[in-house]
Amino acid sequence: MSKIYTVAVVGATGVVGREMIDLLQELNFPVGRLVPLASARSAGATVLFKGENIDVQVLNEDSFKGVDFALFSAGGSVSKEFAPIAAKSGAVAIDNTSYFRMHPEVPLVVPEVNANAIASHKGIIANPNCSTAQMVMALKPIYDLAGIERVVVSTYQSVSGAGKAGIDELEKQARLSLNGGDFVAQKFPHTIAFNLIPQIDDFLPNGYTKEEIKMIEETKKILGDPTIQVTATTVRVPVFVGHSESINIQTKRKVSAAEVREALRKMPGVIVMDDPPNSVYPTPRETAGKNEVFVGRIREDLSIPNGIELWCVADNLRKGAALNAIQIAQALIA
Residues that bind ligand 3JN (CB under 6 A): 76, 97-98, 129-130, 157, 161-162, 200, 214, 316
What character string, x for contact with ligand NAP (CB under 6 A) and - otherwise, covers 285-324?
-----------------------------------xx---
Helices (H), the chain: 15-26, 76-88, 111-114, 130-146, 163-178, 210-223, 257-266, 284-287, 323-333
The one of ligand 3JN, ligand NAP, none whose footprint includes residue 13, by CB under 5 to 8 A per kind, is ligand NAP
CB 127 within 8 A of CB 319: no
Q: How many of the other CB atoms lie within 10 Å of CB of 298?
A: 24
Catalytic residues: 130, 243
Helix axes 15-26, 163-178, angle to 10 degrees: 110
DSSP 203: B
Q: Which stretch binds ligand NAP (CB under 6 A): 160-168, 182-190, 271-279, 285-293?
A: 160-168
> Is residue 282 within 8 Å of 294, Cβ to Cβ?
yes
Q: How far is the CB of 118 from ligand NAP (least distance, A)?
A: 17
Q: Does 161 bind ligand NAP (CB under 6 A)?
A: yes
Backbone angles phi, psi at 24, to 5 degrees: -60, -40
Q: Taking the complex as a whole, how short is the minimal distance between the CB of residue 82 and ligand 3JN, in angstroms?
A: 14
Residue whose C-beta lies closest to ligand NAP: 14
Q: From the list 5, 7, 17, 298, which residue makes contact with ligand NAP (rule: CB under 6 A)? A: 17
Out of ligand 3JN, ligand NAP, none, what residue 59 binds, judged by CB under 5 to 8 A for its kind, is ligand NAP
Options 20-28, 62-70, 109-117, 156-164: segment touching ligand NAP (CB under 6 A):
156-164
Q: Closer to ligand NAP at the Cβ: 63 or 251?
A: 63
Give me the DSSP letters along 165-199: HHHHHHHHHHHHHHTT-----SSSSS--TT--BS-
